[in-house]
Amino acid sequence: MPLTVSWTTAQARRFARQSLDVPAQGDPPAQLARLAAAMCGTHAQVASAAELSLALRHDRATRQEVREALFTASTLVKTYGPRGTVHLLPAAELPLWLGALSAQPTGAQHPDGVRLDARQTDEVVAAIAEALDGRFLTVDELTDEIVARTGPWAGELTMEAFQTKWPRWRTVMHTAGHRGALCFGPNRGRKVTYTRPQAGPPLPADEALPALVRSYLHAYGPATPESFAKWLAMPVGWARTAFHSCKVTEVDFEGTPAWVAADDTDFPAFSEPVRGVRLLPYFDSFGIDAYPRDRFFPGRARDRALARGQAGNYPLLVVDGEVAGVWHQKRAGKRIAVTVEPLVKLSAGQVRELEGQVARVGEVLEGTAELTVGEVAVGPHA
């Protein structure tokens, strides 16, 4: 008979592994990279949210220490990760990620006249790698370098973007990231820069994909090929094959089949339910990837904390392992006004915990946070 795993036990293991029960301690640069690995990548489309995601899992890290881990200690890399979205990844694991992400199938994401064919894609990626080797370039500087190496076709303004048009080569930016030709550098004023990551060669796909599945299951298991496909935004058929390239063990998860890594079936140590109050920022990886979603977003939370069924668009108040409200923060100088809208009645002890979480948000953001309990009037993040 398969091992039976309850929602309570699974959440307890997930919380413990991502330091959401007890914050991590120790040297921030090393610990922040370990935390990014434990999360299976930190979503970083919104830079400030990524800084909160990581630093709130540590007992004293601030946003500045996340930046230092990125651009001084270089224990983190900011690049295109799952779903082609920007993530913070541990630098030591970059060969694994590059090997797995570059093995994903690519579809026709842009119309004729905009997308590049395979030969053009290879030319552009090679040009990016050459141009960024040992350099930090803005997008305009990089465009000039790519056009000089490939031809005017790469710079044609054909890609629709925010009421303007971008050059054609930008249709394959995430592909360049997945192949190790490009990652983000430190901002130059308000301008983003790019560089080439200092990483070893990508792992072969037959090593990298099972390793990525195992990392995913370590963070979010028990899980299914379908949830793995959603996490990567890949076709279910391909994801199912990749999922089962890893040695997995079937379990009974709340009455349905799910899987964990074959050498990672330890659940009894996590039999106590999750207790406590936590704040998760926009696009926190746990908020997006903890399945089944209807258990993590129970009752009213399904309507209030999801945006048309999509997770990540609201910061989350989590009570005893489940979403129990939303929150928002607004900064004015050093003052950070934090409004929390609970969907459940909080006990006096839980209010004190919430006050501690809000104070910790202030520490991470290097300001002073003040709590207001009331309605969050701000809509979902785009």
The structural domains of the chain, ordered by start, are 1-102+202-271 (no CATH), 112-198 (1.10.10), 277-373 (no CATH)
CA distance 305 to 326: 6
Question: What predicted TM-score, i.e. pTM, was given to this entire model?
Answer: 0.94
List Cβ neighbours of 67 (8 Å cut-off, separation of 6 or more). Answer: 51, 186
pLDDT at 382 over 80: no
Instruction: Tell how strand 335-342 and strand 368-373 pair up.
Output: parallel
Give the model's confidence band at 107: pLDDT under 50 very low, under 70 low, under 90 confident, else very high.
Answer: low
% of the chain exceeding 70 in pLDDT: 99
pLDDT at 112 over 80: no
- Average pLDDT, whole number, for the chain? 94
**Per-residue pLDDT at 214:** 98
Comparing 142-156, 228-242, 259-273, 309-323, the range with the smallest average pLDDT is: 259-273
pLDDT at 345 over 70: yes
pLDDT at 12 over 90: yes
